[in-house]
């Protein structure tokens, strides 16, 4: 398996090899790479004879129930307190662990980070952050080399799912030859590519179609930025739960826009209004920095943040920032409009 392009930090390898009972955590609002990498890590550790537990802050989404081990993922109330290592996967900052990180019980346990987000805050005692990888699952394909792991079908299925979902099936601009090599290795090891694509990208409930029909009817386009809002009332009417990255794909395919945004109304922890912002940028443009400035994170082509306030307030302040940011990037970075 070719892993020469990337180097796994020695301190991370040493800690993983020494640990015997490991908690693997991924992030709130989990996506395919979160599930694929947290379960992949568990399968890797178990194949080395270690005890490993996968934990996620939110209940497992039914869409990812097909992943080997998905039924074993525990929530915040079902973790133990005798782990000797915590591995955080696909997480750019500690707060992304949500309620699953129980500081009083876990504060003294060494915590390491494996992630591909360029905005990672390096919050572990050992951090492997590799923004050249398109998915955390791709990093685990690399990690399987120095750990001496023979990839079986279960592990391959988990890791290829992370790669397929984060690259939208090899369509994102960060789909390098190394991504394809990692995917090829997983397919050779038994992962079912067409099944993964069908399970993750090529299916949706009718409630999604219903929601999109309402949301897209009120889509906006202004100076190269397109956006939609999703209210709690619209989600309720459509009987729709949670987020949908495919709506991002639709918006980011609009000819006349270089940047796009989805503003989803949320209720904050204390009942006060908040808005989840999800940004996309065409090649040559960058929405990662803006999300970071607004307290979120992500990459140049895709990023997000959550801002306190009503839908109207947040849209009213953030859309002008996107418009200004696009104009600045057109002027200073040589980015060219994509239309
Ligand atoms: Mn990822």
Distance 206 CA to ligand 1 centre (A): 27
Q: What pLDDT is stored for residue 239 in this prediction?
A: 86
205 pLDDT more than 90: no
Distance 33 CA to ligand 1 centre (A): 5
To which H or E segment does residue 113 belong? strand 111-115
Confidence at 53, pLDDT banded by 50, 70, 90:
very high
User: Encoding tokens for residue 182?
Assistant: 């990692």
* pLDDT greater at residue 321 or residue 172: 321
Distance 323 CA to ligand 1 centre (A): 27
- What is the reported pTM? 0.79
Distance 312 CA to ligand 1 centre (A): 30
Q: What is the dihedral of CA 316, 219, 174, 113, to 10 degrees?
A: 50
The span from the CA of 252 to the CA of 221, in Å, is 12
Confidence at 3, pLDDT banded by 50, 70, 90:
low
Distance 217 CA to ligand 1 centre (A): 30
Distance 91 CA to ligand 1 centre (A): 8
Confidence at 173, pLDDT banded by 50, 70, 90:
confident
Distance 230 CA to ligand 1 centre (A): 24
Q: What pLDDT is stored for residue 219 in this prediction?
A: 98
Contact 122, 130 (CB under 8 A): no
Distance 242 CA to ligand 1 centre (A): 18
Distance 70 CA to ligand 1 centre (A): 17
Distance 273 CA to ligand 1 centre (A): 27
Distance 162 CA to ligand 1 centre (A): 7
Q: Where are the alpha helices (DSSP H) in the chain?
A: 10-18, 32-47, 103-106, 136-144, 153-166, 177-188, 193-200, 206-216, 232-238, 245-252, 288-293, 311-332
Nearest Cα to 100, choosing from 35, 31, 25? 25
pLDDT tens figures, 4-24: 689 999 999 999 999 999 999
Distance 131 CA to ligand 1 centre (A): 10
Distance 34 CA to ligand 1 centre (A): 6
Nearest Cα to 273, choosing from 236, 315, 218, 210? 315
Please count the CA atoms within 13 angstroms of the CA of 92 that sit on its side-chain side.
19
pLDDT tens figures, 258-279: 999 999 999 866 789 999 999 9
Distance 237 CA to ligand 1 centre (A): 31
Distance 199 CA to ligand 1 centre (A): 18
139 pLDDT more than 90: yes
Distance 116 CA to ligand 1 centre (A): 7
Distance 136 CA to ligand 1 centre (A): 5
Distance 159 CA to ligand 1 centre (A): 11
Determine how β-strand 21-25 pairs with β-strand 51-55: parallel
Q: What pLDDT is stored for residue 193 in this prediction?
A: 98
243 pLDDT more than 70: no
In the chain the domains, ranked by start, together with CATH numbers, are 10-200 (3.90.1640.10), 206-332 (3.10.310.30)
Distance 135 CA to ligand 1 centre (A): 4
The span from the CA of 196 to the CA of 64, in Å, is 10
Q: What pLDDT is stored for residue 2 in this prediction?
A: 42
Distance 193 CA to ligand 1 centre (A): 18
pLDDT tens figures, 57-94: 999 998 899 999 999 999 999 999 899 999 999 999 99
Distance 189 CA to ligand 1 centre (A): 21
Highest mean pLDDT (candidates 5-9, 46-50, 207-211) = 46-50
Distance 331 CA to ligand 1 centre (A): 30
Distance 171 CA to ligand 1 centre (A): 15
């Amino acid at each position: 398996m070719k892993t020469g392009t990337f180097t796994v930090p020695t301190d991370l390898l040493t800690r993983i090899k020494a640990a015997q009972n490991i908690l693997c955590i991924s992030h709130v609002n989990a996506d395919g790479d979160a599930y694929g990498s947290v379960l992949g890590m568990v399968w890797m550790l178990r194949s080395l004879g270690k005890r490993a537990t996968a934990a996620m802050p939110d209940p497992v989404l039914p869409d990812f129930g097909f992943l080997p081990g998905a039924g074993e993922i525990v929530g915040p109330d079902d973790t133990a307190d005798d782990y000797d290592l915590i591995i955080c996967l696909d997480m750019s900052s500690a707060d992304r662990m949500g309620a699953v990180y129980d500081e009083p019980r876990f504060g003294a346990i060494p915590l390491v980070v494996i992630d591909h987000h360029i905005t990672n805050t390096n919050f572990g005692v050992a951090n492997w952050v590799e923004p050249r990888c398109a998915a955390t699952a791709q990093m685990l394909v690399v990690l399987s080399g120095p750990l001496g792991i023979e990839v079986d079908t279960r592990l391959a299925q988990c890791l290829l799912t992370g790669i397929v979902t984060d690259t939208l099936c090899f369509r994102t601009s960060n789909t390098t030859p190394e991504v394809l090599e990692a995917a090829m290795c997983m397919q050779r090891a038994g992962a079912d590519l067409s099944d993964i694509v069908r399970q993750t990208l090529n299916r949706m409930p009718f409630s999604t179609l219903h929601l999109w029909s309402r949301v897209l009817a009120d889509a906006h386009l202004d100076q190269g930025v397109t956006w939609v809002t999703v209210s709690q009332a619209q989600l309720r009417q459509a009987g729709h739960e949670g987020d949908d990255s495919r709506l991002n794909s639709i918006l980011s395919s609009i000819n006349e826009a270089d940047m796009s945004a989805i503003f989803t109304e949320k209720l904050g922890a204390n009942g006060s209004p908040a808005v989840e912002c999800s940004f996309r940028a065409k090649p040559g443009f960058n929405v990662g920095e803006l999300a970071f400035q607004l307290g979120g994170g992500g990459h140049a082509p895709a990023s997000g943040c959550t801002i306190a306030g009503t839908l109207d307030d947040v849209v009213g302040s953030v859309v002008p920032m996107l418009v200004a940011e696009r104009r600045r990037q057109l002027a200073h970075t040589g980015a060219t409009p994509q239309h």
